[in-house]
A = this chain, B = another copy of it.
Amino acid sequence: MRSTTIKDVARKAGVSAATASRVLSGHSATSEDARQAVREAAAELGFRPNAQARSLRKTSTQTIGLLLPDIRNPFFADLAHAIEQRASEFQYLTLFGNANESQEQQERYLDVMLSQRVDGLIAAPQGEASSLVGILAGEVPTVFVDRVVDGAPVPGVTADNAGGIADAVRHLTALGHRRIGYIAGPQSTSTGRERLQAFRAAVAETGADDDGDLVFLGDFQSASGAAGARRLLDLPMPPTALLAADSLMSIGAVGVCNERGLAIGTDIAFVAYDDIEAFTLLNPALTVIAHDVHAMGRLAVDLLIAEIAGESPESVVLPSRLIIRGSTPSLPGGNPA
């Protein structure tokens, strides 16, 4: 059951392995006769070159590594899809790793990918620079996506976190909300930190209630969104509007509102960070801070390709867009402007 090698092809075609290789890779000069014979032999034998052997000799593997925190998060699923499709346009295969929001798994995957000698790496990193020694040592061209690591000399494609959050808070205060509950992301991620900082700044700017109890620290997973909603709604002076820092936490939080019979849009206003298709289902639909995920993935690949080619591309920040839907109506119950 040994698979056929280039030598088998060469033998059958009556040429040397060198010539067979030249024909199949289409590079140097080869005679018409040789070309025909080799192509026929290869087709007949069902020859499939061993990528390992090829990558060993060449320097490149035509493979990029993609390290994401959680593929079940629709935002990252969309991102993975966009990256993978764009990469395949450049004949790159995507090696995908799911860190499961865990630093340990992130490091394990990083190690494996470097062992696999990926030509480049796209990552939405977690934690501190220290855990990413490999990348930082410049071992492999890298691009950060969505999240970044401070102080790392690595270009990134991110969303305008601050702008998005500021727009949302201004929108809510303009509707008359003064007590806005914020379900934040983990402070071990740049997005978690930036969004929380932006929230605090926007609260200060708009004069909304600056009450530490109105901020709950979640972990970007839906259970923590539910926990956050419970905690905030149980406050002596509960918020009249909720803002959650990602889609999964929004799902958890909306679930709690339903549980308690709080009608979104009527009894409480709600804004979610990230737009996912399912949010349009809710009735009323959720107001969201949306991004062009497709562009983010595409750009990440483009920057990586540039880096692999030896260039030093600049980081990109993509705009956020507030999409106002039914969950933040003009006249929230009991909250006149």
Q: Does A129 contact B (CB under 8 A)?
A: no
**What B residues does A3 contact at CB under 8 A?**
139
Judged by DSSP, the binding face of A is helix
Q: Are B48 and A115 interface neighbours, CB within 8 A?
A: yes
Which listed residue (B84, B105, B116) contacts A51, Cβ 8 A? B116
Q: Are A56 and B48 interface neighbours, CB within 8 A?
A: no
From A32-40, A161-169, A236-244, A280-288, the one touching the partner chain is: A280-288
Q: What separation, in Å, do the CA atoms of A3 and B61 have in the docked complex?
A: 15
**What B residues does A137 contact at CB under 8 A?**
46
What sequence of 0s and 1s flags, for each residue 273-303 of chain A, a beta carbon within 8 Å of any chain B beta carbon?
0001110111101000000000000000000
What sequence of 0s and 1s flags, for each residue 94-133 of chain A, a beta carbon within 8 Å of any chain B beta carbon?
1111101000010010011011110000000000000000
Q: Are B281 and A115 interface neighbours, CB within 8 A?
A: no
Q: What separation, in Å, do the CA atoms of A20 and B77 have in the docked complex?
A: 42
Within 8 A of B (CB), among A244-286: 248, 251, 254-255, 258, 276-278, 280-283, 285
Q: Are B281 and A283 interface neighbours, CB within 8 A?
A: no
Q: Are B71 and A77 interface neighbours, CB within 8 A?
A: yes
Q: Are A282 and B282 interface neighbours, CB within 8 A?
A: yes
Q: What separation, in Å, do the CA atoms of A98 and B282 have in the docked complex?
A: 29
Q: Are B115 and A98 interface neighbours, CB within 8 A?
A: no
* Chain A residues near B (Cβ < 8 Å): 3, 46, 48-53, 55-56, 61, 70-72, 74, 77-78, 80-81, 84-85, 88, 93-98, 100, 105, 108, 111-112, 114-117, 137, 139, 222, 248, 251, 254-255, 258, 276-278, 280-283, 285
